[in-house]
Structure 1
Amino acid sequence: DAAARALSNAGALRAALASLAALALVALLARVLRRRGDLVVHLTYPAELRATFRVRIDRHRRSWKRRMPESDAEILKGGVASAREHHLVARETPFRRLPCRRYFVTVDGVLQDPHTGEVLEHPFAQTTANVLHRRTVRCDLDVTPAAAPVDVVIAWDGQAPREAIVAARGHARGPVEVESGRVRLRLPLGTHAIVVGSGDRVAERRVAVRSHLPSAVDVELGQGGAVVFKACPPAVEPYVAGRIEAAAQALARDGQSGAAHRLLARRNAELGRTAEAALHHEAAGDFLEAAELHAQLRNYAHAGELFGRADDPVSAAEMFQIAGDPVRAGRAFEQARDFDSAIACYREAGDAASWVEALERRGDVFEAARTALEHDLPTRGIRLLQRVAPDDPNYADACLLLTDTFERERHFDLAARKLSDYFAVTKPGGAPAELYARLADLHERAGDIESALDVLETLRLQDPSYPNLATRTEQLRKARSAKRHVPIALLGDDAGLAPTILLADQRYELIEEIGRGGMGVVWRARDRRLGRVVALKRLSDSLRDHPRAVELFLREARAAASLNHPNIVTVFDADQEDGTLFITMELLDGQPLHQLLRRRGRLASSEIAHIGWQVCAGLQYAHERGIVHRDVKTANLFVSPDQRVKIMDFGLAKVAEEVRRSASLIGGTPYYMAPEQTLGGEIDARADLYGLGVTLFELATGRVPFPDGDPQHHSRHTAPPDPRELAPDVDDTLAALVLELLAKDPDARPASAAEVARRLAPLDPLRPAERAAPSASN
């Protein structure tokens, strides 16, 4: 019985314990089921859009799918809301007193343009959220569109093209075919390049997408559009598809190397290959872009060269300074007309010649002269000192410097003359007696005893007690004799510089040789009869054997002497003595154009127009008087420091032709001769226009049109190259004019120099008041 009771008690205990456990579990379950919390779903999207959403929460994951656009009306209309599904939600919706657990949240809706109601996007998002007891849990969902609609409107001269392909550079989606002239792309916010190809060309426009609202970009393929290249259909599809190398190859095969290099330059820049991009920009003629890249690469010297070719001399100078090349920096500063900086550079480099030239161009003639003399440039110093005007405050000092210089150079008569000029501007009695004694000595050494005696007499009146005055006067009186003269015929082709040589029946004094060429030697000379300094060209002795050439020379020179125009070198006289021909003309200060071109390199289009306009003015004046130059070229054009251009050697080309025909004594490669001139036929003013065309071509590109082979053959049979092929930055109007001037048929060239000048005038910013074409009255 005891055992039975024990078993019964144990069973009762177990039953009691089980009941207690059940009660505890029920209590726990009841407590859990009573735990509640709130869930707030917050949606983020652009404020500029209007949004309508349906938000649903589920206890279990369901295979909710993105709804179809056809159900937009359902979303916008809304439905019956429930504890687990809310409709017409805008930004935020709360779900209240939810049992604490994990929920699956699904958001579906539409984003609209608030102005038009157009549905722009169908956002769909899913996430999970854990609801906590007596807590409000926030569930954030960002439904901002990844892209915005951009409408690309395509036109070709105002008309929609039949077919086109469109792409946004850098986006995975390939080109889109367009037939209506309009297509919508979806692009992320930011800046994008829209590329459109149609037919034989591609245009590209950059668009900044700053809003999720629809925007539009117009792309014009015709006139005035941002055309990348044209006339190359094989390059269109590769370029739009982003295969830049393939497009560049197609352009190169088509002869458009410049466009090909530009594509490759941009491609390499995008890839961070700066050096390669710079090389391609330079090959394309984009010198400014190439210069900036070389500056980034610290290739400062080459960057300076490229900035110069891009007509940015200030940047060029800065690059040369960084590169440690003050001479080239100075030249660039001169081109920018910053003469102070140029002078500082030349002073640093010790380049006296350039230093003097910069001072002269700045207008400091006396300072330039003094600098030239201090740096052993006597010829240059003399020329500059002679330009100091009597009303200049430095005139007296200039006279004394010239006196010293002429005396060192053993030009005693010129030294005496300048010392006399000093006395003329000095108040009476203001000059020391030693200068009078010096003047007398200079006259004596020059062989002018009479003038020396006159000066000593003046000295006696001023200072009778001057040492040895009487003795010296007596010596001069005893030594009085006739002056010694040397006729021109005694001077051979290689005659050196004599102290003072008289020519042509004592009218001209040869002071110094200043140049020589195939036609003879040019001297600085003094016309004793008229008291002026001139240039005297003594022609080659070989002309003596050609009577016809002598006759032509005298006739042509006298005709040239009748020309009086600011753009033509004035001829004063032409004659012969003992078979030696000479011609005197105005003495110019500056340099021939071919030397300027050699020193500076090719010129900018505006400079070429400025020079060409002046040449046309001179040619038109001569042509109206029946005079043809026959040899227009850079070597026969002289440029003064103030940019005045003068045409030299009118008529001498005809003499050279006569000698060449008879004995081939005077030669030279006829790079500048018109086709009809190379055949030996009659020519007219249009031959000069051909020579002008070659000259302008050379100024623009740095070389003549046909530098290799037989230029006579090329001038008659080979089409001239377009200057833009050698120098892409040449102005289009200038290039077209040059090609017309180089026409092989004279009738195809411009009708006159005046017509050429009229077309050059708009390109010449330095001549705002002289736009009219030159005529005989100019």
Structure 2
Amino acid sequence: MRGTTVGALRGIGKTLVAIVGVLLTCAGATGLAFAYFLDSPAVLALRDGVVAILQRALPLVSHNLMPGHVIGWLTAAPWRFLLAPAGIVTLGVALLPGGGGFSVAAGDDGDPRSAGKATREDKRGQKKGRAEAARIAKKGNPAEAAELCIAIGLLDDAARYFLAAEMYERAAEIRHDQNRFVESAELYAKAGKPDSAGAIYAQQEKWDLSAEAYVVAGNLSVAAEMFEKAGNDRRAAQCYRKCDFPRYAAKAYIRCEEWLLAAECLEQVILEEGRGAQGDAQKHTEHMKLVRMAGNLYERGGRMDRALDVLAKHGAYLPAAELAEKSGKLERAAELYLEGRDPARAAKAFEAVGQGERAARILADLHRDRGNPEEAARQFERAGEWMEAGDLYRSVERFDKAAECYERFGDAALAAEMFALAGNRERAAANYERSGRYSEAAEMFALAGDSAREADLLDKAGENLRAGRLHLEAGRVEEAIGALQKVGADHAEFASAAALLGRIFRDRKQYPLAIAKLREAVSQGEVDRSNLEACFCLATVYEANGDWREAVDLYEKVLAVDYTYEDTADRLERARAQLAAQAAAPAPAAPSTTSGRYLIRGTLGRGGMGIVYKADDTVLDRTVALKVLPESLKESPQALKNFLREAKSAAQLNHPNIVTVYDAGEQDGVYYIAMEYVDGNTLKDIIKRRGKIAPRGIVHVASQMCEALAYAHEKKIVHRDVKTANTMWTKDRKAKIMDFGLAKMIEEVRNHTTVVSGTPFYMSPEQAIGKHVDERSDLYSLGVSVFEMATGTLPFTEGNLPYHHVHTPPPSARELEPELPEALAAMIDRCLRKDPAERYQSAREILAELRAAPL
């Protein structure tokens, strides 16, 4: 029975020994592979597997034991060299027949007494061996002495001799076999085997000594674990950081309250793991947790700037914003609140730093997104975003507010539409005008009852006829004339505009102008219902102007179309009577050829104000030019009085380039003006006969004309009818302007005569529409005269001449005459400006330029 039990126990022992041998062999082989072949992919894969197994298994053994501890122990000397051989030997022992069992210590024959005898013999042998070892060591061979001691079992002596031989590793192995582990570790360290020392210290739970040994070995991750076990978190953190385990370093720094160093390590983790967190919600949550922790650590360490930067940089915008606000960096906080999609707090922060417009813009977007358009519009208005505000106000039908916003934005057209919808016609009209939509502006002013502004806007819109009628209805005659004269001859409303102008000029007793406009209205067509009113009006003007033949002809045509039209029949009867009386009247009287002061010698010409005779002044014995004025002058006493006054003023002009007026008065029942007789021709006759004048000749003539005009203007006398036909060129090469002052007299008396004063070819724009004229009007007429001398023609020769002078740009003199010097062309162009303020302001200005002109 006893033998059976012993056999069973021996079998179990052999199995256990075999298992231990296999484990030791595998552990040793793994340690060698990790130590020398870690670059191999297969070994790396093996290491990952071992780590995974250890991570699962070690917590079952101890929570303080980590995979790094085990791997560090396997790779440390001497274990990486001892484990595999030990495993093989153990496995061999288990497999030997009879091996692996347990026996009682005895001699070969099993007798205890024999064993005691052997022990006494061993002691005697050890004594002899110790003496021999001492002798060998004394000879200088301590290592040989140590080996001898090992052979005879004197381990302490062997260790001492190895130390004497500085063979510390062998000494360490002996101490380890003696279970004197701390001494063994110290000797391994002294032998330059810090890994082995560290592993032994760790087995003995000398954590701080183990850690320091692993530091010397460069195995910092295991050193860090040892420092942690020793409670030295600062050294643990330093080691973790050096071996690039920033997450473990951060935890260790936190335990020792090194907040800034912990934050730096966490920031490194954030940078390394940040990319992997993208697209994975769980990882992203963990990542943001680390970011917030880093920020908190920097804040606890007093580095608010670093805390703010790390939070903002890695997307923790709201914590960053709160920290910035806490630090007084309100503008940065506002921007971060925006990034964090908290517009309400962003707006509050912007308000706090005085950026009200920015805050309002943010709130506007917020309210718009929340479906509150009116509040959004109000905030956009605060922000100066007028177009957005206007659009939102319009969407809720707050047209008045929308209009205000559009107006401030500068979109006058939209503002006008909104003001119109809001019922504010005046501001609607003003904005329509600003946007160039003059017809709509006029309509608004009409609804507002402002006819003057309505007419002005219609005029701008090109609806000149409607504008003229409105001005006329309101009694604004000058404005009506200006508007109506803008209707061009090719316009469909030209006839109506001309007819209306004709009636205006008729009512103002400006009969020559009325006749010209009404003729344009009637044209050459037959009288019919379409032009009946214009024909009747023209006939009344002929009647008022004393043109009885023309009046009779038109009245008859009007009656032929409508026999009951107005009082045409009565007017026709009166006109026929006047025509008959005129036919029976004697011819106009002329001064005597045989008596009186002035004796007629011949006729020099006929002009707009009568006949010019060559006469002898019997009192002063000289030849004069005697201009006899028409009989109708007597019909206007006031005009006659003014005529005599102006004639006397003109007589005071004494200049070599002005035809002198000698006398004015009455002889033989007729009124006359006696003037200097000039032997020469008018410039008009010279141009007709010879064509254009050379540039030097123009400068010579125009300079003298400027001298004359400058002299007269300084005497406060305006000619009003400067033209080539009124300028004489004498045989001694002098220019002389005649009829100074007569144009004004003609203007005053022509409504009482049948004579039309001059032609409109030379009239200034202001003269053409009957406005006040000054010396600049003479300079315009001078420009026309110089144009005629330079080109042989006039700027405007056909069509509605007053309209052209007022509105149509004159042709370029150089286009007609390319050889004309630039200086002369520029002088002509400036004289012909429509606005008197843009012309030369005096004749002397022109004279200075002519004298300096390079020819």
- Which bracket does the TM-score occupy, shorter chain normalised? 0.3 to 0.5
Instruction: Give 1 or 2: higher helix fraction.
Output: 2
TM-score (norm 2): 0.32
Q: Which has the higher contact order (CA 8 A, sep 6+)?
A: 1
TM-score (norm 1): 0.35
Instruction: Give 1 or 2: higher strand fraction.
Output: 1
Computing the radius of gyration from Cα coordinates, the structure with the larger value is: 2
